[in-house]
Amino acid sequence: MWVIIKGIPGEYTVRELNKLVNRRFKPAWALMPIRGARIARSKILKIMYTRSRNWEYHGLVYIKPSSLVHSVIGRLNASTIEGKRLQAHPYVRRFTGRDRRSQLLGEVELFPGERRRMDRRRGNLVSQIVDSTG
């Protein structure tokens, strides 16, 4: 299962990302290390919101087996990089065509009780894979 680690420093490489995640599998202070989890692939994702022209860096790590992913995410969320707390989540690929608020029938409202009319996702994003293994 893919895990996204948000807000990593821009100078991080895939090797440093793998080292960071592997340290969370068997930290020195843990009484119960996570056994059997391994990194199959990893990537550094670079995203720019075109309005602000700022780059964001995120780590994508494919962890096997999927049954241990949530315990790895819990360990990652408890750790910090350069004084900033990590934010790790299962990665879900989203498509604009799957938005349930799209008005396919014209003016007829598909979901009458829906208060959120617009999509909250940021538009105008530019993304690149900076560094990849696997």
pLDDT of the residue at 25: 78
Looking at residue 105, its pLDDT comes to: 47
Structure confidence at residue 117 (pLDDT): 60
pLDDT at 14: 94
User: At a CB cut-off of 8 Å and minimum separation 6, what does 84 contact?
Assistant: 7
Q: Supply the pLDDT for residue 78.
A: 85
So what's the pLDDT on residue 98?
A: 65
Which CATH number covers residue 77? 3.30.70.330
Token digits of residue 120: 């909250």
Q: What is the pLDDT along the chain (134 residues), one digit of tens a residue?
A: 999 999 899 889 999 999 988 888 776 666 777 888 889 999 999 988 878 888 889 999 999 988 889 988 988 898 888 888 989 999 988 776 666 655 554 555 555 666 666 656 666 777 778 777 76
In a domain, 116, yes or no: no
What angle do the packed helices 69-77 and 14-25 form, to 10 degrees? 100
Measure the N-to-C terminal CA separation of the chain; round to a whole number of Å. 14
Residue 133, CA distances (Å) to 27, 46, 54, 72, 85 in order: 24, 15, 25, 20, 25
What's residue 26's pLDDT?
Answer: 75
* Domain range for 53: 1-24+35-93
Any domain includes 62: yes
Establish if 122 belongs to a structural domain: no
Tally the domains of the chain: 1
Please indicate, yes or no, if residue 78 is contained in any of the structural domains.
yes
Write phi, then psi, for 74 (nearest 5 degrees): -60, -40
Whether 130 maps to a domain, the answer reads no
Residue 103 included in any domain: no
Is residue 43 one of the residues assigned to a domain?
yes
**29 located within any domain:** no
